[in-house]
Structure 1
Amino acid sequence: MEIQNLTQRLTERKINPTAMRILVLDQLLHSDVAMSLMDLEIVLDSADRVTIYRTLKKFEEKNLVHTIEDGTGSIKYAICESNCQCTTDFTHAHFHCTTCEQTFCLRNIHLPEIKLPKNFQAEQSSFILKGTCDHCSVK
């Protein structure tokens, strides 16, 4: 994606488009899987871990990414859809491949609305399917 488009995507979410933020956004947009902080550190090998972490937290705060806790002990990050309100909408499922350890957003599997009992407030939701992805199952 062009730098101009990346910059525009950041400014639409009221995020100052620094060089690191543009690099992280570009990596997340070009990834078919959710990425952990460690994954991004490997790809952006000259980048500072703390700066990448702060970038991800800013992206999460501005609903540009959502987090996925897939049971591996490492939080994964994936780009939100343009109309996403991740703090209030728990809209799709995720799939964790137990062979390659990759986690995928299943945007076509929408989660039903869950009616909570009176005075209950959900702060986080997770629906993780585990098994073998299409790439690993054909090996």
Structure 2
Amino acid sequence: MAKPQEEALELLQRYSLRKTSCRLEVLDLLLHHNFALAHSDLEKQLGDKYDRVTLYRTLHAFEAKGVVHSINDISGAVKYALSQEACDQHQHHNHIHFSCTACGQTFCLNEVPVPTLSLPTDFDVERLHLSAQGTCKACRETVK
């Protein structure tokens, strides 16, 4: 199994993205977390290494190439998570997001089947956003 820094480099190569220190570090952070991260989360963890615009451009480039997807969570913040395609797992463009009301983390639930949606023939669905709210396993266990 590759180390996260090596995985980050492999992702940049696979998606034909230029290798920069910011891109490597952002991917490394996303690979280290099993939940989505907001721009502000990334800023806190990266410190003052990169300015706000560089970080936004990095996330925009990742999203445009399909490396990450954005999630509007219950707080109104936009968060970013690695796309399943980037993780070499089954491709799930449409999946459920779970927002924990206790810790504020947002998780991609790729293993949960998305219900079939029947729309009138005049409409073509390109992307479906489903979200659930409640308490995650970690928070539920700390309450017990």
TM over 0.5: yes
Question: Structure 1 residues 23, 131: CA separation in 2 closer, same or farther (over 3 Å shift)?
Answer: same
Find out whether 1:100 has 2:67 as its counterpart: no
Question: CA shift at 1:70, angstroms?
Answer: 1.6
Question: Structure 1 residues 5, 95: CA separation in 2 closer, same or farther (over 3 Å shift)?
Answer: closer
Counterpart of 1:73 in structure 2 is: 76
Paired residue secondary structure (1:101): coil
Question: CA shift at 1:12, angstroms?
Answer: 0.8
What do the CA deviations read for 1:40-69 (whole angstroms, capped 9, x no partner)? 000001221111111111100000001111
Is the 8 Å Cα contact of residues 4 and 32 (structure 2) preserved in structure 1?
A: no
Question: Structure 1 residues 136, 60: CA separation in 2 closer, same or farther (over 3 Å shift)?
Answer: same
Question: CA shift at 1:7, angstroms?
Answer: 1.9
CA distance in 2, matches of 1:34, 1:42: 14
CA distance in 1, matches of 2:32, 2:117: 32
Aligned-pair identity (%): 40
- Aligned-CA RMSD value: 1.9
Q: 127, 131, 134: which one pairs with 1:131?
A: 134
| Greater helix fraction, Structure 1 or Structure 2 | 2
TM-score computed with the length of structure 1 as normaliser: 0.87
Question: Structure 1 residues 82, 123: CA separation in 2 closer, same or farther (over 3 Å shift)?
Answer: closer
Question: CA shift at 1:110, angstroms?
Answer: 2.4
Is the 8 Å Cα contact of residues 100 and 134 (structure 2) preserved in structure 1?
A: yes
Is the 8 Å Cα contact of residues 91 and 110 (structure 1) preserved in structure 2?
A: no
Counterpart of 1:118 in structure 2 is: 121
Counterpart of 1:8 in structure 2 is: 10
Is the 8 Å Cα contact of residues 69 and 75 (structure 1) preserved in structure 2?
A: yes
Counterpart of 2:35 in structure 1 is: 33
Question: Structure 1 residues 108, 23: CA separation in 2 closer, same or farther (over 3 Å shift)?
Answer: same
Count residues with an aligned counterpart: 135
What do the CA deviations read for 1:112-136 (whole angstroms, capped 9, x no partner)? 3434322313344211110111111
Is the 8 Å Cα contact of residues 69 and 126 (structure 1) preserved in structure 2?
A: no
Paired residue secondary structure (2:111): strand
Question: Runs of 5+ in structure 2 lacking a partner?
Answer: none
CA distance in 1, matches of 2:86, 2:27: 17
